[in-house]
């Protein structure tokens, strides 16, 4: 197995480029996954590894049979890994196009829709909640969202692979939901009912925006109902990932 010790090696320079630049990820059709658990979820979801970078001193002598791999030294691994020396494995993976039409939904699906929620930490936390609640899909309505951002993959601890996740525009998603008779429940303070008074047993899309700007009028107008989480303190909003978890598990409770 080839062993690399220099950060100037072309393979390492390209790996770092893929980690840092969404343009490079799009152009090459590759993205980066770091960590054993994340890579296992990625492989289970049917993705193909292009190149595997292993540090035996941290990873151990185990390997992934059949995958193209190179070794990197501990000093080099600590430079290229976001999490330092804790895992010992980084992979370049071939990207897949994720489209609304590819979602295979059951009867009465439970879907999370996020408008303009771009922070990887929030998106990752929501994906983890969606996985825990066994949501059928997460749809991100923002054309700037990069589903293969390494920070998003890391924040979700691989849930971006365990939950069917797509990015699309609001103009695409609303008619797509309506054509499938999926009720649209928008989380908002104005003109809304308490979330636990709404029937979530039928096909449901829980729609949330950012804490700062909320949802656009397009979503408010398309909504089947407006719902809110009661706020008993002086503040008028929760972090969007907390709101998503509350609403998701209310749906789970109702469907149990």
pTM of structure: 0.92
Residue ranges making up the domain that contains 36: 3-94
pLDDT, tens digit (0-9, with 9 covering 90-100), for 60-110: 766 777 888 999 999 999 999 987 656 899 999 999 988 999 999 999 999
Q: What is the largest CA-CA distance in the chain?
A: 63
131 plus 89 within the same structural domain: no
151 plus 246 within the same structural domain: yes
In the predicted structure, residue 169 carries a pLDDT above the cut 70: yes
The pLDDT-based confidence of 242 (bands split at 50, 70, 90) is: very high
- Tokens read off for 29: 């059709």
Domain end among 78, 94, 110: 94
Domain end among 55, 74, 94: 94
Q: Do 188 and 149 form a contact (C-beta atoms < 8 A)? A: no
- The count of structural domains within the chain is 2
Question: Which CATH number characterizes residue 129's domain?
Answer: 3.40.1280.10
Q: What is the pLDDT of residue 210?
A: 82
In the predicted structure, residue 36 carries a pLDDT above the cut 70: yes
Question: Which CATH number characterizes residue 58's domain?
Answer: 3.30.1330.30
How far apart CA 26 and CA 46 sit, in angstroms, is 19
**Residues whose CB is less than 8 angstroms from the CB of residue 227 and which lie 6 or more positions away in sequence, other chains included:** 185, 186, 187, 188, 192, 193, 194, 195, 198, 247
User: Residue with structure tokens 């010992």?
Assistant: 88
62 plus 128 within the same structural domain: no
148 plus 90 within the same structural domain: no
82 plus 134 within the same structural domain: no
Q: What is the mean pLDDT of residues 137-142?
A: 94
Cross-strand partners of 115: 141
154 plus 41 within the same structural domain: no
Q: Where are the strands (E) in the chain, listed by range?
A: 3-4, 30-34, 49-54, 69-72, 89-94, 110-115, 137-141, 165-167, 183-187, 193-194, 204-208, 225-228
Q: What is the pLDDT of residue 174?
A: 97
82 plus 155 within the same structural domain: no
> What count of residues does the chain have?
256
Q: What is the pLDDT of residue 57?
A: 87
The secondary structure of residue 205, as a DSSP letter, is E
pLDDT, tens digit (0-9, with 9 covering 90-100), for 222-236: 999 999 999 999 988
30 plus 111 within the same structural domain: no
């Amino acid at each position: 197995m080839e062993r690399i010790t220099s950060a100037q090696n072309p393979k390492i320079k390209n790996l770092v480029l893929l980690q840092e630049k969404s343009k490079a990820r799009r152009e090459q059709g590759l993205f980066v996954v770091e960590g054993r658990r994340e890579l296992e979820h990625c492989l289970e979801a049917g993705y193909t590894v292009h190149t595997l970078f292993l540090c035996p001193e941290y990873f151990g002598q185990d390997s992934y049979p059949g995958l193209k791999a190179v070794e990197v030294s501990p000093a080099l691994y600590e430079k290229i890994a976001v999490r330092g020396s804790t895992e010992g494995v980084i992979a370049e993976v071939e990207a897949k196009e994720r489209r609304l039409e590819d979602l295979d939904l059951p009867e009465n699906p439970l879907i999370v829709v996020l408008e303009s929620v771009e922070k990887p930490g929030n998106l990752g936390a929501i994906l983890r909640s969606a996985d825990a609640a066994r949501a059928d899909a997460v749809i991100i309505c923002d054309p700037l969202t990069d589903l293969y951002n390494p920070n998003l993959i890391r924040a979700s601890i691989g849930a971006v692979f365990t939950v069917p996740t797509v990015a699309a525009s609001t103009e695409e998603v609303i008619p797509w939901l309506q054509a499938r008779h999926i009720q649209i429940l928008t989380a908002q303070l104005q003109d809304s009912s308490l979330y636990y008074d709404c029937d979530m047993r039928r096909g449901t899309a829980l729609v949330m925006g950012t804490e700062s700007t909320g949802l656009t009028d397009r979503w408010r107008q398309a909504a089947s109902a407006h719902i809110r989480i009661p706020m008993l303190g002086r503040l008028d909003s929760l972090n969007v990932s907390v709101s998503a978890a509350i609403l998701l598990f209310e749906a789970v409770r109702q469907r149990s």
